[in-house]
């Protein structure tokens, strides 16, 4: 029984009794979503007899009294793409279908939380779902950038191509990124590099806003970005897809080529992506780095060029009751840092060498390689579903810069050391992960799931700089979740979880001598001593949904936690990029957060409005607190920054709305607001670092079915207003507000049998000079990139394999 | 009024109230300052110091609430790596490889509850250490100042240290 999981269908023709005389057949089956959750209330219609029904709570349907004939079956459900197929009924027939989420409304402006999509309605936390089309239409320099338009999502950037996702003002280790079911592990704590994910290889993304430790364990305090590669080719087809991308600002050229095929239960996807870009341009002639003015050549931010090279192999077997998929990927990138400032430290550079070519990558630069192997398995029995995922990852990252003898380092680099003089930092991390989740349906209204996940990390360090010591880390978590539906309108979910963790850091000594207090004797200072800490934590979540036809309400209360990371426990070195001497605290407790989330949405044909307020309390928010002290010996005269715990209160909301003004014109609005305040400690009254400013977005979208030869043409204009961020904490600076206009337009072109999709964007059309409060380069006054014209062309090529199975 | 309308109104009101919330507690958002235009400020960009002699660091520090501490770092700039914070360019000697460059790092406290503080700090530059005589040439004089809340400011000067 072949079954196609995602984009399209799942046909099951049990057998063919061609000569049957019986004229009273029935057609039955099950309608599920792309996560294999039953869809209740889907409409099933047979044409031309116009006989139909709707699916029940388990997604099952039956239509009987059918004559032997060919029918057209139409399956539709609000929030999902309609499915139309031709079927031949010559016996009692089973036709199962999997519907994909219809994300059209998201492309335009919103829909988001609590929309009519059933899987959102069934989750008690606020969720945003986007697909590949949305990503292409909104493609930024990185995956996180492409998501930044979503309400409550922003980024932490360094330059244009490197960014990390931020959910409601929290980022780094407080957001979990999951790819194909396995937590993505890199060096999440670092501000100066991005997420190692190829945004072309993404099919769907689910953004969960709110404490998600229950399902994802430590770190999911602010939320989860769940990235899925779930496209499975149609049976008996060979497909290719060529994506071409170009950007004017940094002369980026790139291509991603996908090859996919499927023969019955076996499928295979192969993808290669290559992107190459030059220095990016900013709307300014010079940059003030601590009042040291660095002139820019042709508005180019010197040495920010780079490239990305990714490979993916996905294959697996899809059977009716069992599926097993393998995801192998290698994501590689090399990109330069702005040469006039390594980190925040001003540098004199040879501008002649740097300005000769805009595509070369000189010192300082970073390089990473991220390898991943994931195996995802799923068994479905009558009332029982078991999922088991296994993963291995290797994250290798290097920072290269010319040797400079900071502090007591020798003036000339000794040749007796094992690492090269110009290797500033190197991290090499192996990550082994595993997860099992079982879901059992006790009755139509009661679901029970339980799961277990485990992760082991081994992190090695090298290079002349010291930021974190080498460490190993182990985490185990066990959880249980009950979901109960009452009278089809009310859903209650209760979950509990228990986690155990261990982190063991290695000791580290300087490779150079430092003088003691009296300048008489010299020693190799010990920066970090061995630390071995065990953690345990109990978390819970309680959610309630109330769903009416046009109104949805949800409320969720939850506790989340985060194990302290090696840097917070054991840092003891100078970060010359920030003029800071950073000191960890080996006694820090796991960070605990309590959050109350609500969401409501009203939706009808022409109008939608939704709001998602939250209230959040941290009993011990961990952050790097700049003190008034300087340190000579360990800090080489730099200001001391200590990892500190303080109570933090945060609240905020996102609101979104859209209105269909005319048949072809839709107006939209998104607003985001977050307030944070430290309630205790040395910085009582201050906000927490990197608080995003209040932001509103107005949108007008014009779209229609076709204009001459262009199908589904659209033109969408965003007007973004960002408030001044005055709520700052040392060492931040007040960031002025700004206004931006971005335009998106495109459509589909029919070329022979293929539909070529063209998406274009003009970002920052007025070439406005503005600063992003959460950019790493904000402190040295590097503005965000100037006007950028982006074009993305997606060309599908599809071939059918001659099939003996086709009987339609 | 239907519940949908009530919800919309309530959320708009909540959103606008929270968006406009005024700060209630006064917190310090100003960095301290290193003032280098008072009479006799020393050293300044492009100044020269001498081995075997003591010089006086004279600078005025100022903060709106309370000063914290400061540190001084003198290191060679034979490779012209320069993190000067000053606009004026100094005449640098040719790039050279350091043999035994002079390094000075120290941190200093400022008496508590000071909004203004003038340094009068003598620093002796020795002529040699156990490795021999120090290299003459281009150096950096780097000073970092904090206030009590942890705001900081930095100044970097290009200087020369020569033998008299």
pLDDT in tens, B71-83: 999 988 887 766 5
In a domain, B101, yes or no: yes
| CB-CB under 8 Å, A613 with B73 | no
Residues of A in contact with B95 (CB under 8 A): none
| CB-CB under 8 Å, A653 with B18 | yes
Q: Longest C-alpha distance within chain A, in Å?
A: 106
Q: Which domain does B32 fall in, by range?
A: 27-162
Q: Best interface-test mutation with B: which of A113, A288, A411, A515 has the largest number of B CBs within 10 A?
A: A411
CA distance A733 to chain B (A): 9
* In contact, A542 and A482? CB cutoff 8 Å: no
Band (A17; pLDDT cuts 50, 70, 90): very low
Band (A806; pLDDT cuts 50, 70, 90): very low
Residue that wins the pLDDT comparison between A663 and A753:
A663
- What pLDDT does residue A8 have? 31
| CB-CB under 8 Å, B150 with A625 | yes
For residues A716 and A377, give the distance between their C-alpha atoms in angstroms, rounded to a whole number: 40
Band (A445; pLDDT cuts 50, 70, 90): confident
- What pLDDT does residue A110 have? 29
For residues A723 and A691, give the distance between their C-alpha atoms in angstroms, rounded to a whole number: 12
Residue A520 has pLDDT above 90, yes or no: no
Residue A744 has pLDDT above 60, yes or no: yes
- What pLDDT does residue A120 have? 62
CATH 1.20.210.10 holds for A226-800: no
SS3 of A421-441: the string is CCEEEEEEEEEEEEEEEEEEE
Three-class SS state of A637 = coil
Q: Is B163 on the interface with A (CB under 8 A)?
A: no
Residue A107 has pLDDT above 50, yes or no: no
In whole angstroms, how far apart are CA B66 and each of A84, A178, A628, A734?
73, 46, 10, 20
| CB-CB under 8 Å, B151 with A292 | no
Residues of A in contact with B148 (CB under 8 A): 628
Q: In the beta sheet, which residues pair with residue A266?
A: A263, A317
Residues of A in contact with B151 (CB under 8 A): 626, 730-731
Residues of A in contact with B97 (CB under 8 A): 412
Q: Rounded to the nearest 5°, which phi and psi values hold at A118? A: -65, -35
- What pLDDT does residue B24 have? 52
Q: Rounded to the nearest 5°, which phi and psi values hold at A391? A: -150, 145
Minimal CA–CA distance to A793: which of A320, A57, A200? A200
Across A205-209, A295-299, A389-393, A804-808, which has the greatest mean pLDDT? Answer: A389-393
Q: What would the pLDDT profile of A769-793 be if each residue is shown by its tens digit?
A: 999 998 888 888 899 999 999 999 9
- Neighbouring residues of A6: CB distance < 8 A, sequence distance ≥ 6: A34, A98, A100, A203, A230, A231, A232
Q: What would the pLDDT profile of A368-383 be if each residue is shown by its tens digit?
A: 999 999 999 999 888 8
- What pLDDT does residue B130 have? 83
In a domain, B76, yes or no: yes
Q: What would the pLDDT profile of A223-252 be if each residue is shown by its tens digit?
A: 999 998 888 887 788 989 999 999 999 999
| Nearest CB to A348 within list B23, B82, B152 | B82
For residues A150 and A137, give the distance between their C-alpha atoms in angstroms, rounded to a whole number: 13
- What's the mean pLDDT in A517-541? 88
Q: Name the residue with tokens 């201050």.
A: A686
| CB-CB under 8 Å, A551 with B4 | yes
In a domain, B10, yes or no: no
Interface of B with A in 15-54 (CB under 8 A): 15, 18-19, 21, 23, 25, 27, 29
What CATH number is given to the structural domain containing B140? 2.60.40.2550
Residue in chain A nearest B151 by alpha carbon: A730
In a domain, B33, yes or no: yes
Overall domain count for chain B? 1
Q: What would the pLDDT profile of A20-66 be if each residue is shown by its tens digit?
A: 345 688 888 988 887 777 887 788 888 777 788 888 878 888 888 88
Size of interface A-B (CB pairs under 8 A): 150
Q: Best interface-test mutation with B: which of A522, A596, A628, A684 has the largest number of B CBs within 10 A?
A: A628
CATH architecture assignment, domain A9-99: Sandwich (2.60)
| CB-CB under 8 Å, B69 with A734 | no
- What pLDDT does residue A421 have? 93
DSSP assignment of A177-215, as one string? EEETTEE--S-TT-TTS-----GGG--EEEEEES--HHH
- What's the mean pLDDT in B131-138? 91
* In contact, B45 and B139? CB cutoff 8 Å: no
DSSP assignment of A77-134, as one string? -TTB--EEEEEEESSSEEEEEEEPBP-HHHHHT--BTB-S-HHHHT-SSEEEEEEHHH
DSSP assignment of A324-345, as one string? EEEEEEEEEEEEEPPTTEETTE
- What pLDDT does residue B34 have? 95
Q: What would the pLDDT profile of A557-597 be if each residue is shown by its tens digit?
A: 999 999 999 999 999 988 877 788 999 999 999 999 999 99
Interface of B with A in 97-116 (CB under 8 A): 97-101, 103, 105-108
Residues of A in contact with B89 (CB under 8 A): none
| CB-CB under 8 Å, A731 with B8 | no
- What pLDDT does residue A25 have? 87
| Nearest CB to B15 within list A346, A628, A671 | A671
| CB-CB under 8 Å, B148 with A347 | no
Residues of B in contact with A616 (CB under 8 A): none
- What pLDDT does residue B8 have? 59
| CB-CB under 8 Å, A347 with B87 | no
Minimal CA–CA distance to A457: which of A476, A483, A439? A476
Residue A757 has pLDDT above 90, yes or no: yes
Residue A755 has pLDDT above 80, yes or no: yes
Residues of A in contact with B29 (CB under 8 A): 726, 728, 734
Residue A222 has pLDDT above 60, yes or no: yes
In a domain, B84, yes or no: yes
Q: In the beta sheet, which residues pair with residue A717?
A: A700, A743
CA distance A136 to chain B (A): 32
Q: Name the residue with tokens 């909301």.
A: A653
| CB-CB under 8 Å, A345 with B83 | yes
- What pLDDT does residue A533 have? 96
Three-class SS state of B49 = strand
Residue in chain A nearest B25 by alpha carbon: A685
CA distance A613 to chain B (A): 9
| CB-CB under 8 Å, B156 with A730 | no
Q: Best interface-test mutation with A: which of B83, B87, B123 has the largest number of A CBs within 10 A?
A: B83
Domain boundaries, chain A: 9-99, 226-800
Band (A656; pLDDT cuts 50, 70, 90): very high
Q: Is B128 on the interface with A (CB under 8 A)?
A: no
Residue in chain B nearest A549 by alpha carbon: B4
Residue A519 has pLDDT above 80, yes or no: no
- What pLDDT does residue A634 have? 87
């Amino acid at each position: 029984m072949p079954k196609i999981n995602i984009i399209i269908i799942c046909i099951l023709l049990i057998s063919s009794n061609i000569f049957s005389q019986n004229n009273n057949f029935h057609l039955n089956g099950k309608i599920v979503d792309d996560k294999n959750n039953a869809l209740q209330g889907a409409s099933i219609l047979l044409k031309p007899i116009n006989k139909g029904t709707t699916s029940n709570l388990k997604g099952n349907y039956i239509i009987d009294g059918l004559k032997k004939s060919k029918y057209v079956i139409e399956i539709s459900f609000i929030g999902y793409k309609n499915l139309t197929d031709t079927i031949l009924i010559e016996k009692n027939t089973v036709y199962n279908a999997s519907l994909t989420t219809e994300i059209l409304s998201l492309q335009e402006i919103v829909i988001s939380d609590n929309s009519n999509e059933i899987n959102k309605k069934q989750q008690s936390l606020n969720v945003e779902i986007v697909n590949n089309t949305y990503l292409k239409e909104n493609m930024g320099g990185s995956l996180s950038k492409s998501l930044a338009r979503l309400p409550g999502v922003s980024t932490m950037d360094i330059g244009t191509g490197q960014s990390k996702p931020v959910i409601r003002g929290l980022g780094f280790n407080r957001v979990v990124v999951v790819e194909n079911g396995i937590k993505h592990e890199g060096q999440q704590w670092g501000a100066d590099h991005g997420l190692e994910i190829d945004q072309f290889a993404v099919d769907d993304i689910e953004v969960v806003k709110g404490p998600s430790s229950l399902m994802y364990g430590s770190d999911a305090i602010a939320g989860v970005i769940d990235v899925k590669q779930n496209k499975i080719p149609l049976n008996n087809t060979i497909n290719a897809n060529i994506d071409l991308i170009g950007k004017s600002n940094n002369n980026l050229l790139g291509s991603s080529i996908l090859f996919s095929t499927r023969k019955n239960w076996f499928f295979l996807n192969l993808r290669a992506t290559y992107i190459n870009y030059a220095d990016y341009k900013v709307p300014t002639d010079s940059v003030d780095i601590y009042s040291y003015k660095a002139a820019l050549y042709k508005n180019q931010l010197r040495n920010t060029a780079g490239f990305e090279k990714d490979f993916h192999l996905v294959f697996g077997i899809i059977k009716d009751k069992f599926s097993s998929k393998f995801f192998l990927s290698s994501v590689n990138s090399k990109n330069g840092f702005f040469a006039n400032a390594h980190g925040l430290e001003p540098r004199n550079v040879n501008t002649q060498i740097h300005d000769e070519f805009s595509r070369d990558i000189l010192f300082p630069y970073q390089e990473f390689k991220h390898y991943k192997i994931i195996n995802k398995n799923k068994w479905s029995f009558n009332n029982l579903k078991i999922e088991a995922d296994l993963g291995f990852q290797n994250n290798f990252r290097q920072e290269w810069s010319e040797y400079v003898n900071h502090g007591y380092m020798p003036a000339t680099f000794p040749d007796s050391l094992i690492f090269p003089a110009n290797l500033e930092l190197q991290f090499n991390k192996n990550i082994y992960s595993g997860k099992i989740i079982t879901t059992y349906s006790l009755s139509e209204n009661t679901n029970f799931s339980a799961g277990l996940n485990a992760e082991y990390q081994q992190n090695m360090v090298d290079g002349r700089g010291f930021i974190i010591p080498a460490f190993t880390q182990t985490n185990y978590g066990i959880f249980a979740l009950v979901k109960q539906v009452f009278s089809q309108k009310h859903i209650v979910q209760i979950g509990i979880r228990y986690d155990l963790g261990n982190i063991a850091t290695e000791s580290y000594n300087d490779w150079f001598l430092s003088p003691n207090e009296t300048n008489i004797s010299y020693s190799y200072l010990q920066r970090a001593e061995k630390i071995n800490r065990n953690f345990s934590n109990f978390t819970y979540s309680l959610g309630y949904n109330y769903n009416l036809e046009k109104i949805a309400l949800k409320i969720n209360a939850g506790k989340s936690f985060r194990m302290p990371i090696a840097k917070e426990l054991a840092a003891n070195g100078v970060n010359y990029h920030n003029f800071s001497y950073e000191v960890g605290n080996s006694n820090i407790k796991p960070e605990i957060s309590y959050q109350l989330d609500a969401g409501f949405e009203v939706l009808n044909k022409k109008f939608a409005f939704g709001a998602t307020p939250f209230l959040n309390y941290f009993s011990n928010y961990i952050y790097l607190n700049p003190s008034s002290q300087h340190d000579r010996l360990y800090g080489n005269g730099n200001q001391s920054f200590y990892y500190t715990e303080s109570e933090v209160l945060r609240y905020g909301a996102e609101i979104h709305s859209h209105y269909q003004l005319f048949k072809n014109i839709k107006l939209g609005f998104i607003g985001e607001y977050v307030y944070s305040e430290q309630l205790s400690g040395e910085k009582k009254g201050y906000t927490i670092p990197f608080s995003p400013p209040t932001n509103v977005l107005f949108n007008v979208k014009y779209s229609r079915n076709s204009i001459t030869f262009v199908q589904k043409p659209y033109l969408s204009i965003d007007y973004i207003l960002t408030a001044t961020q005055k709520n700052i904490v040392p060492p931040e600076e007040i960031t002025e507000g700004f206004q931006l206009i971005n335009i998106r337009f495109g459509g589909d072109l029919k070329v022979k049998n293929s539909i070529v999709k063209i998406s274009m964007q003009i970002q920052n059309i007025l070439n406005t000079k503005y600063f992003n409060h959460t950019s790493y380069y904000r402190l040295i006054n590097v503005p965000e990139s100037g006007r950028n014209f982006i074009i993305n062309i997606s060309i599908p090529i599809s071939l059918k394999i001659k099939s003996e199975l086709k009987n339609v | 009024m239907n519940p949908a309308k009530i919800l919309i109104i309530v959320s708009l009101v909540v959103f606008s109230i929270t968006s406009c919330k005024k700060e209630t507690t006064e917190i310090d958002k100003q960095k301290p300052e290193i003032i280098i235009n008072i009479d006799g400020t020393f050293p300044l960009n492009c100044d020269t110091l001498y081995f075997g002699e003591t010089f006086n660091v004279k600078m005025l520090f100022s903060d709106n609430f309370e000063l914290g501490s400061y540190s001084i770092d003198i290191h060679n700039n034979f490779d012209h790596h320069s993190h000067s914070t000053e606009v004026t360019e100094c005449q640098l000697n040719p790039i050279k490889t350091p043999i035994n460059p002079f390094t000075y790092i120290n941190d200093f406290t400022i008496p508590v509850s000071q909004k203004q503080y003038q340094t009068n700090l003598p620093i002796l530059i020795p002529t040699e250490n156990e490795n021999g005589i120090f290299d003459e040439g281009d150096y950096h004089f780097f000073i970092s100042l904090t206030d009590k809340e942890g705001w900081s400011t930095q100044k970097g000067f290009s200087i020369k240290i020569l033998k008299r």
